[in-house]
Structure 1
Amino acid sequence: MSQALKLWNSFKNKPAGKWTYSKLLCLKAPYFSSISPVFEELRPHYCEIKIKKHRAVLNHIGTVHAIAMCNMAELAGGTMTDVTVPSTHRWIPKGMTVEYLKKAETDLVAIAKPAEENFKWSQGSDYLVNVEVRDTANNIVFKAVITMWVSAKK
């Protein structure tokens, strides 16, 4: 079990546990703190994070900035990958394609899932992660496909 998942399991049901876990993860990867994410659910093959619409993530027209949604996608996709890959393997993001579908005018939720549930882990291969970002009306405002390079540890 990954360190991220062990930590999540120890914090998720405690008072302010999800908030605390999110802050700890942002200490490890400080750039993600720019969006003030809060993890809502984390398990192999699934990650859900939320962000509030607040000044730091807004663009010039008052909607959530496209790059803030990219950050959400990478955080959710990377954390989901981390808790999913076997301990014999390592991973790194290789690329990401995105679609901006609607203005993001509310708080947002990002959900990351693998493109293929029964992925066959090998010496080295691309692992695709699908991420959808939804607004408070449950409209999809953004989609991403992240290509992770997964390889056996040396």
Structure 2
Amino acid sequence: MSTNEKPRLLKMWDRALRLPLGPRVFTRAFQLAAPYFSTLPMLFTHAEPGLVRARLKHVRKVHNHLGTVHAIALCNLAEAVMGLAAEISIPASHRWIPKGMTVAYLAKARGTMHAEAVLVLPKQLADKQEIAVPVSVRDPQGVEVFTAEIRIWVTAKPAKS
């Protein structure tokens, strides 16, 4: 794949946008590829290299005992938006894996949550490099209720023989 060629998932996103309910179709395909994310009532709403947004419905299955969105549901939402951001931003010459996550719960999470992951690649992407991906989650009023910094480990793919 040339460096100018779009990543496969970004091509899928672009194609899905031409369909009725395209973001739902794309989100479902993503959830089928990574089945754990099927537990989230989420919808990707924006995807471009370096920036992914999604929303999480506030429904009973993501509630905690207080009736707010459960802390781990917010962590899972953060991982989903970061994962798509990494997949569509990291060049085909490299691969990535999550290395760690630091989170902060800033306010009660009530209502539909809106998550945003921003992945800024260094000018020179090296082999064996850690990259921090910040994720912000906001409530319907725009109040930031949760933040995460997800560190990913990026390595060059071995040359094919």
Tell me if both proteins adopt one fold, taking TM over 0.5 as the criterion: yes
Structure 1 unmatched ranges of 5 or more: none
Which structure 2 residues correspond to residues 81-120 of structure 1 after superposition, within 5 A? Answer: 81-114=86-119, 116=120, 118-120=122-124
Residue 152 of structure 1 is matched in structure 2 by 156
Give me the identity figure in percent. Answer: 39
TM-score (norm 1): 0.96
More divergent stretch after superposition (8-17 vs 117-126):
117-126
Unaligned runs of 5+ in 2: 1-5
Q: Note the alpha carbon deviations across 1:57-76, whole angstroms, 9 max, x for none.
A: 00001000000000000000
Q: TM-score when scaled to structure 2?
A: 0.92
**Paired letter, 2:140:** T
Which structure has the larger Rg?
2
CA positional deviation for 1:119: 4.4
| 2:60 paired residue number | 55
Q: Which residue of 2 aligns with 1:76?
A: 81
**Once superposed, what is the RMSD of the aligned Cα atoms?**
1.0
Picking from 27, 50, 69, the partner of 2:32 is 27
Q: One-letter code of the match for 1:145? A: E
- From 20, 31, 43, the equivalent of 1:15 is 20
Deviation at 1:12, TM superposition (A): 1.7
- State how many pairs are aligned: 153
- Cα distance in 1, alignment partners of residues 8 and 155 from structure 2: 18
